[in-house]
Amino acid sequence: MVRLLVIRHGKTDWNLQKKIQGRTDIELCDLGRAELAGKRVPAEFREFAWTASPLKRTRETAELLGAQTLKTEPAIIEMHWGEWEGRTLTDLRATYGAEFKYNEARGINMTPPGGESPADVVARLRPWLRSLEKDTIAVTHKGVIRALKSIAYNWDMTDKAPVKFDWATGHLFDVTAEGGLRPLRINISMESA
């Protein structure tokens, strides 16, 4: 069985401002770089193939964590947040009120205007998961990681996540032939270089 180690990108200015980034191509901020400086993936994963979303923040994170050869993978690009990109949840709740609350309550079927739903993200991830032929590290985004949690834990996103994935840690899964995931270990700390 192929193993997949998933890592969320380091922090950006928009993360610090609590803005929804989506597909907006934002680099890591100084704090994000500082938190990753001198860190590497644990030795047991260093022979895995590296892949990252096409966005700068994931590629930079992978390089800081020791990726020598990095493939970009469109399937793991962040969820398209449409008209909500660049805005905060507080702003969206204030602007759209009950309409926004209703959309949030739809869980995996929540769809931002002009964007995609988490269910759409799951649908684009499954063929990629089935295509993996070797152990892989994927540096990706919160929306993609939530979709992977949905696959692994059969979570419909209408309630609290079944597990909390900490920032700057790795999450290891077995990938099934059907494009499913079986959790092996979560919140694996990065090592000092």
Show which residues are catalytic: 9, 78
155 labelled ligand-binding: no
Query: Are residues 144 and 171 in contact, defined by beta-carbon separation less than 8 angstroms?
Result: no
In a 3-state reduction of DSSP, which class is residue 148? helix
Separation of alpha carbons 148 and 121, rounded Å: 9
124 labelled ligand-binding: no
11 labelled ligand-binding: yes
Query: Are residues 181 and 128 in contact, defined by beta-carbon separation less than 8 angstroms?
Result: no
Cα distances (Å, whole numbers) of residue 122 to 33, 48, 75, 145:
29, 23, 10, 10
33 labelled ligand-binding: no
154 labelled ligand-binding: no
14 labelled ligand-binding: yes
Separation of alpha carbons 92 and 84, rounded Å: 8
25 labelled ligand-binding: no
For the annotated binding site for substrate, the residues are 8-15, 57
For the annotated binding site, the residues are 8-15, 57
